[in-house]
């Protein structure tokens, strides 16, 4: 975090004294390097700023950095972790079931090269998947305490809040996209600037925000999380993304159903929904009212019918190459080559079965199963333990990620989100939470064994009788 503070100061000074930005950047860069070598968690935080918010695509001064800056920082994180292991003489390496599932999925996607329709797109997709695996490994190896894991989670919340706030500000300053007959707020940069992609990033974060808010006891934490959540919801409205709005309503329904106070929470959710509809501009009301219409051939509802066609074409491509599919990331090219329509699937299942075939689909199912298995085991332990600060945080985290995965599946019915970073970032958080619960359970069992040790006490030496 100290490195981020120094970089922020450098950016502010650079605005006032542009000619001096390069010497300042060099000095503070060297300081940041020193911190990263000394502290792996500091290096990981800096790396995740590039991974989760991609500032090199939109933030001032960051665009002066070379395009491979993220990779350089990634290698530095690996080096910092290696130095830490050598100094602390640590040799354990942990992946967990979710990690093995991710490795299996990447291996399966690698095998699709033999039937890939376009090797360039296959290469780009596999580079992204290896990037996701790198982030997974670094998070799991470095976050070996609840405090470090909480640092990563709070960073994710803060970056998401910043992205949502900037999107809303840009919208009211006239920076938006006019499509589907409405004004739509945009994201930032190139990776997820599309209104639907940006809204999806916010929708996937909302469950974690909500369950963190539910479990935390810190006043300022609650205020910050509540503000971020409200900004994210309003930003989703301004994007006009029907899929993300449905995901948000689904989240509200899940919270009500899973709560012990269903009536009270249901009434509160209804009031909030009515209030949101009252302040929502008419163009977005009309947009969201068409979410269930899937048979119209004209207007914005044509996209809904196209999603069903994407699933159909994905199944047809799967029948042509049932074992290894058409190649990782090659759905759009294969669809164009076979059916003359170079359009993405807009349906995750169609994308999965077409790209990966049987081996890709099977390993992805195992990967998702491993995540849910880890969540179930963690929840089972944490629910029966004392509600201290760490246990509350871990329980809220795994429950929030469980709902986020449901939202990912739900939105997968209306978008192609197989290669989104959210799947693999959430898997890393779950793997860390499960590892921490296993460590805590082992320590608890060891204490119970010491307290109930059945071994007989050592016999005392007989006292010698006096003469």
> Would 51 be classed as within a structural domain?
yes
Q: Are residues 37 and 131 in the same domain?
A: no
For 87, the token pair is 């100094």
Q: Are residues 66 and 136 in the same domain?
A: no
What are the respective helix, strand and coil percentages of the chain, to the nearest 5? 75, 0, 25
Query: What is the pLDDT, as a whole number, of residue 294?
Result: 44
Q: Which helix (H) or strand (E) holds 176?
A: strand 176-179
- Check whether residue 77 and residue 118 sit in a common domain: no
Question: For residues 341 and 198, what is the distance between their CA atoms, to the nearest angstrom?
Answer: 25
Backbone CA torsion sign across 351, 353, 355, 360: positive
The range of the structural domain enclosing residue 65 comes to 1-91
Helix (H) or strand (E) holding 335: helix 331-339
Distance CA 405, CA 347 (A): 16
Are 69 and 176 contained in the same domain? Answer: no
63 with 176, same domain: the answer is no
pLDDT of residue 233: 92
CB-based contact 248:267 (threshold 8 Å): no
Which runs of consecutive H residues, i.e. helices, occur in 89-218?
96-111, 119-142, 146-172, 195-215
The answer to the question of residue 465 being in a domain is no
pLDDT at 16: 45
467 in a structural domain? no
Give the integer Cα–Cα distance in Å for 433 and 391: 10
Domain boundary among the residues 91, 109, 142 is at: 91
How far apart CA 254 and CA 396 sit, in angstroms, is 14
Q: Clarify whether residues 187 and 249 are in a common domain.
A: yes
Same domain, 37 and 17: yes
**Is 445 domain-assigned?**
no
Instruction: Examine the domain organization and report whether 83 and 97 are in the same domain.
Output: no
Residue 176 counted as domain residue: yes
What's the pLDDT score for residue 464?
44
Both 71 and 208 in a single domain? no
CB of 187 within 8 A of CB of 198? Answer: yes
pLDDT at position 372 is 96
Domain co-membership, 69 together with 102: no
- pLDDT score recorded for residue 8: 54
Q: Tell me if 184 sits within 8 A of 236, measured CB to CB.
A: no
Residue finishing a domain among 40, 59, 91? 91
3-state secondary structure of 294: coil
Tallying the residues shown for the chain, one arrives at 467
Distance (Å, whole) CA 310 – CA 349: 9
Q: And the tokens for 303?
A: 């996209």
- What pLDDT is recorded for position 117? 92
What are 49's two structure tokens? 């700023």
Distance CA 240, CA 183 (A): 8
* Tens digits of pLDDT across the chain (467 residues): 555 555 555 555 444 444 555 555 555 555 555 666 667 888 889 889 999 988 888 877 777 777 777 888 887 788 777 777 777 656 578 889 999 999 999 999 999 999 999 999 999 999 999 999 999 999 999 998 999 999 999 999 999 999 999 999 999 999 888 887 788 999 888 778 889 899 999 999 999 998 898 888 778 888 999 999 999 999 998 998 888 888 888 888 877 777 777 777 777 778 887 788 788 877 777 777 765 554 444 444 446 667 788 888 889 999 999 999 999 999 999 998 888 888 888 889 999 999 999 999 999 999 999 999 999 999 988 888 777 888 889 999 999 999 999 999 988 887 888 999 999 999 999 999 999 998 888 877 776 666 665 555 544 444 444 43
**Residue 446 covered by a domain:** no
Note whether residue 450 is domain-resident. no
Residue 165 lies in a domain: yes
Of 72, 91, 110, the residue at which a domain comes to its end is 91
CA distances (Å), 80 to each of 83, 132, 451, in order? 5, 19, 40
Tokens of 345: 């699937």
In this structure, the answer to whether residues 202 and 296 fall within a common structural domain is yes
Contact yes or no for 392/215 (Cβ under 8 A): yes
Using alpha carbons only, how large is the chain's radius of gyration in Å? 25
- 272 and 308, same structural domain? yes
Question: What is the number of other CB atoms lying within 10 angstroms of the CB of residue 289?
Answer: 10
Domains of the chain: total: 2
């Amino acid at each position: 975090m100290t490195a981020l503070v120094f970089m922020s100061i450098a950016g502010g000074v650079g605005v006032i004294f542009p000619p001096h930005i390069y010497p300042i950047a060099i000095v503070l860069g060297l300081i940041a390097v020193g911190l990263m070598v000394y502290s792996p968690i500091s290096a990981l935080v800096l790396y995740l700023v590039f991974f989760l918010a991609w500032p090199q695509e939109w933030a001032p001064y960051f665009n002066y950095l070379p395009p491979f800056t993220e990779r350089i920082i990634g290698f530095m994180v690996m080096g910092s972790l290696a130095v830490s292991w050598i100094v602390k003489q640590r040799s354990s390496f942990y992946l967990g079931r979710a990690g093995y599932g991710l490795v299996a999925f990447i291996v399966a996607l690698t095998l699709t090269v033999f039937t890939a329709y376009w090797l360039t797109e296959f290469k780009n997709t596999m580079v992204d998947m290896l990037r996701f695996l790198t982030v997974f490994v670094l998070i799991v190896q470095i976050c070996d305490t609840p405090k470090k894991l909480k640092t990563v989670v709070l960073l994710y919340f803060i970056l998401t809040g910043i992205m949502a706030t900037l999107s809303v500000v840009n919208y009211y300053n006239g920076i938006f996209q006019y499509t589907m007959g409405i004004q739509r707020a945009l994201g930032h940069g190139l990776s997820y600037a599309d209104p639907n992609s940006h809204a999806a990033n916010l929708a996937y974060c909302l469950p974690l925000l909500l369950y963190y808010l539910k479990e935390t006891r810190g006043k300022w934490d609650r205020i910050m999380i509540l503000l971020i959540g409200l900004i994210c919801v309003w930003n989703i409205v301004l994007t006009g993304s029907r899929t993300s709005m449905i995901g948000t309503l689904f989240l509200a329904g899940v919270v009500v159903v899973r709560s012990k106070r269903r009536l009270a929470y249901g009434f509160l959710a209804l009031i909030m929904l009515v209030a949101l509809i009252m302040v929502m501009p008419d163009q977005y009301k009309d947009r969201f009212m068409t979410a269930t219409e899937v048979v119209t051939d004209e207007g914005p509802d044509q996209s809904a019918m196209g999603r069903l066609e994407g699933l159909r074409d994905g199944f047809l491509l799967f029948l042509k190459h049932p074992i290894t599919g058409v190649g990782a990331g090659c759905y759009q090219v294969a669809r164009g080559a076979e059916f003359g329509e170079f359009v993405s699937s807009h349906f995750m299942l169609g994308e999965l079965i077409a790209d990966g075939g049987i081996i890709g689909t099977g390993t992805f199912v195992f990967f998702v199963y491993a995540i849910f298995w880890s969540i179930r085991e963690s929840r089972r332990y944490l629910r029966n333990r004392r509600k201290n600060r760490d246990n509350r945080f871990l329980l809220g985290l795994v429950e929030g990620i469980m709902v986020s995965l449901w939202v990912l599946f739900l939105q997968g019915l209306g978008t192609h989100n197989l290669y989104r970073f959210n799947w693999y970032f959430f898997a890393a958080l779950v793997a860390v939470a499960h590892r921490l619960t296993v460590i805590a359970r082992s320590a608890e069992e060891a204490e119970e064994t010491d307290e109930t040790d059945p071994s007989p006490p050592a016999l005392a030496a007989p006292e010698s009788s006096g003469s």
